[in-house]
Amino acid sequence: MPRGVVAAIAAATGFEGLRAGAGTFRVLLDLPARARIGPLAFAELSRATDLSTRGIVFYAVFGIGGALVTGVTWLLAWRGGAPRTIRRLLAISLLASLLVLGFTTQAAPLMWRVGSAPPDPVLVAGLLDRFTAWTIARVVVVDLSFAAVLGALTLAALSRERAT
């Protein structure tokens, strides 16, 4: 397998690892904080973070970047003659990244509504409950994408080791 393909798999693994870590942090730390501070305070926090310019850019790179990185990596592996198992793992990673985008089409409008919602705790709590469910689904598929690309990198490393 060409070195460039292995390098692409390594880069995708790094990117997906960052995405998985950021998503897991969100699910384990940020979202549960809502129960402690309440929906209105959490909405204010989201306006200052997720809905800020920096947050919007971060999440665009998070979603679209993952699909691009995993897509290019799968294409390079396919064109570079990577073993079938590696190509399949990269295809799983790509499909999971595409699912992130699909799930985001459901989650993002909810967060936008949180950003513009009146200070009604019942309304905001309902929006955040639905947003949380979609976010958990997104993090599950991001973690799947990471696991698949990590598996591909492991197999690539093992095959290179056997070749030497």
Torsion sign across C-alpha atoms 95, 147, 34, 41: negative
Q: How far apart are CA 95 and CA 50, in angstroms?
A: 25
Tell me the pTM. 0.93
pLDDT of residue 146: 98
pLDDT of residue 164: 59
Give me 127's structure tokens.
């929006």
Any idea where the domains of the chain sit in the sequence? Answer: 3-163
pLDDT of residue 1: 83
How many other C-beta atoms lie within 10 A of the C-beta of residue 6? 21
Q: How far apart are CA 58 and CA 50, in angstroms?
A: 8
Give me 47's structure tokens.
């306006």
Q: How far apart are CA 74 and CA 31, in angstroms?
A: 32
pLDDT of residue 29: 94
pLDDT of residue 118: 97
Tens-digit pLDDT string for the chain (164 aa): 899 999 999 999 999 999 999 999 999 999 999 999 999 999 999 999 999 999 999 999 999 999 999 999 999 999 999 999 999 999 999 999 999 999 999 999 999 999 999 999 999 999 999 999 999 999 999 999 999 999 999 999 998 767 65
pLDDT of residue 159: 86
